[in-house]
Structure 1
């Protein structure tokens, strides 16, 4: 059974997704953070234009200026972009005020990355006011359903609007999708109206908080139960589900702690699983282990057989260890929210078919990752190269109740 567990503490709201009581996803938002920066929209002022980098720095009111690249200034529909890109100083000038959206959180000493390609996610679709195309999630199962959603998308969008049908749109009626796009269209109209009145830098639209994103992004038909241990968070979630996902309401449960009974996270060993997941050395059930080393842009994972000696021959032992490692790597990347380049040093395999099976398993497992993840392939040195989109600082875990 797949459960979503929501635990409220004084300083944070935490969400864990478990399948058969095994942790697969973890999210945390501190109380003082009224939602993440990614997705927020600002009225910005251009403070520096760099033709040599085809980029500009803009002030959105944060300590560090945000970075705006030429491709994020040009029209988002690729067919409307000329092959020869203009110089950035032909499009922007110092002191100019523009509206931008955050697409990458500030990382380390770098400011946020922003774009003029606006997108507003809803329950069933993503609304883009100037994209001028219809897209469908690759996770929608059949071509007939993908075609149906494309047809509906063309019917409900207006003028240069664009929509991307999310996985949750699968099987939904056209009225639900039309209501979703109309709601987001009205949100955009309010943002656009505020942009004409505001003086830069100014926040025009803040991305939703974690409870809102829980219902909008995380709650799918694959979730069997949602348990929440805080009354206020329960009532907020219930209200949002009434508005956005009424059919999911029977899955909502309130967890009430009585006396000395274990907390929600304690009951499912979430703390222990988090502690294990964030260790530099992660032990596999077979007796093998993974070693994680990280820099700001690169993560290296070394696979070792450890105490696992197998029962037949060395190649079989190595192969089975690598398969188990691939399964855990896909899971731990999500829990740790690792981003950037990932290099996996699997144990050397003699058989090409074994190498193929390990890579295919990893490719299949990362398809369920909510963050874009790509298995690039084997390098000349026999290392497996991957990438995972990096939009915020990597998660960390330091314990706690």
Structure 2
């Protein structure tokens, strides 16, 4: 153990599900899952080929969602089975035809007007192995020591047939051979079940959707995680079952206090802070995040420099603190794509190398793929971070004023799911009704979508009166109680 205590917190009551990873009581990563018909990473579909695009060497596949998915030639089993020479010559038109059914998995979710990115080289992930039924290759986690690799490689080569492939994950470091064999059999069974299920369905159709917490737990679970806390009984049962399949099961706790779990642990406050473009650093300097569609620009602003003596030393120290915080914030905010950082100007290459070193070190804590390009001639630091799901800001907020730097307001859906959580809190009381003050844009949205509020009222068996509050971000309960009392109070206040 390295003194790091991590816990996974799952808020699954209500329609919106939220999963958070905390380290030493601080939020370090968070994901929001909303009821959606759009394809999620890991989902497996029986798709129907809509259009073959020889120019792009790709096809569009109808998977039954609003946008067709995109599948490239390289991601077809038929292409992978060809020799290197044949691969160079082959055109996609000879590998796949319009109207054909095909089993595909989502690699990257829809974003903007782009459909999901798909692969027909589907994979099944276990704790120790990732199993590829149609990709003949054995890979070993880079984190495994050199001395272990040959033995694991031999095992991998001996257990697969000519079409299959594996990635041997970090958990196999001490070669738990029996567990590895068992897991491989279990992953092969999963493939059989998927194929059986797919045979009985007509394309396009959803075949497998992993539970919302699954892809995250697969990435987050390591020996630092001491417990998982869940606030919903059914989800708790699923997570317990999942946890039991590990060699060293960790503790799963059910939370059932009245105060909402994310509020109790301060996660709500941390999420709110992660939407602000400004982050203060402990020495009085700050970071400013300017997120655009094309790239994210991060400014490091100097604090009050103390002492005139060694300015260059202070600059490097400030830049080091900024570099560590930037890497934490990229993970917390889930910012992806091109990232440009404007550190405080440093003249010497040794100083720049110190910053490079801090950035390389911090890379290890993030499971997303990142490439550091380093300082350019203009002195800006460039890097990229792979996009796996929309950022926190994209999910929760929307731009309403292009001219204002912090021109974001919370999306109507964000406020709607928050309303669902607030009403759930009052379900314990004997109140007939709530009077809530909400942001103006949300009040207008509720007027246009009256069925949305009706749905919540029916679900929680409580009447809601809405008026416009002064904040464009927060909602507050002005009063709870009997319907008549609230009506009278609202009338009185309006005169």
Q: What is the TM-score of this pair, normalised by structure 2?
A: 0.73
Match of 2:100 in 1: 96
Q: 1:117 aligns with which of 121, 141, 145?
A: 121
Q: Which residue is equivalent to 2:149?
A: 146
Question: Which residue pairs with 1:212 in the alignment?
Answer: 214
CA 1:78/1:248 → structure 2, altered by over 3 Å: closer, same or farther? Answer: farther
| Number of the residue aligned with 1:381 | 378
Q: Indicate if the aligned counterparts of 1:58 and 1:68 stay in contact, CA closer than 8 A.
A: yes
Instruction: Give 2:390's match in structure 1, choosing from 381, 390, 393.
Output: 393
Q: Are the counterparts in 1 of residues 141 and 168 from structure 2 also a CA contact under 8 Å?
A: yes
Distance 1:66 1:34 in 2: 14
Question: Once the 2 structures are TM-superposed, how far is the Cα of residue 341 of structure 1 from its aligned partner?
Answer: 1.4
- Please state how far the C-alpha of 1:148 moved relative to its aligned partner: 3.3
Root mean square deviation, CA, Å = 2.5
Q: Which residue of 1 aligns with 2:44?
A: 41
Alignment of 1:112-191 (within 5 A): 112-140=116-144, 142-191=145-194
| Structure 1 residue 156, shift from structure 2 partner | 2.8
Aligned to 1:290: 287
Structure 2 CA distance for aligned equivalents of residues 97 and 154 of structure 1: 31
For 1:263 and 1:194, the matched residues in 2 are separated by: 39
Does residue 221 of the first structure (1) align with residue 223 of the second (2)? yes
Q: 1:83 to 1:178 in 2, by over 3 A?
A: same
Residue deviations 1:19-71 (CA, integer Å, cap 9, x gap):
222221112223x2499611122222222222222222111111111112222
Distance 1:163 1:310 in 2: 57
2:241 equivalent in structure 1: 239
2:266 to 232, 251, 269: 269
Larger CA deviation: 105-114 vs 12-21: 12-21
Displacement of 1:81: 6.4
Task: After TM superposition, give the deviation of residue 151 of structure 1 in Å.
Answer: 2.7
The alpha carbon displacement at 1:172 in A equals 5.0
Structure 2 portions without partners, runs of 5+: 397-409, 422-495
Give yes or no for the alignment of 1:335 onto 2:339: no
Q: State yes or no: 1:61 paired with 2:64.
A: yes
- Name the residue aligned to 1:11: 15
**1:71-121 CA distances to partner (integer Å, 9 max, x unpaired)?**
223644797464624222232332222222211101001111111222111
> For residues 264 and 201 of structure 1, what CA distance do their matches in structure 2 show?
38
Q: How many residues matched?
A: 393
In the aligned structure 1, how far is the partner of 2:105 from the partner of 2:392? 23
Q: Alignment partner of 2:49: what SS?
A: strand
Matched, 1:25 2:47: no
Query: For 1:111-155, what per-residue CA distance to the aligned partner results, in whole angstroms no more than 9, with x for missing partners?
Result: 111112221111211100011111111123x11233333233223
Q: Tell me if structure 2 keeps the 8 A contact 1:46–1:58.
A: yes
CA distance in 2 between partners of 1:188 and 1:20 (Å)? 39
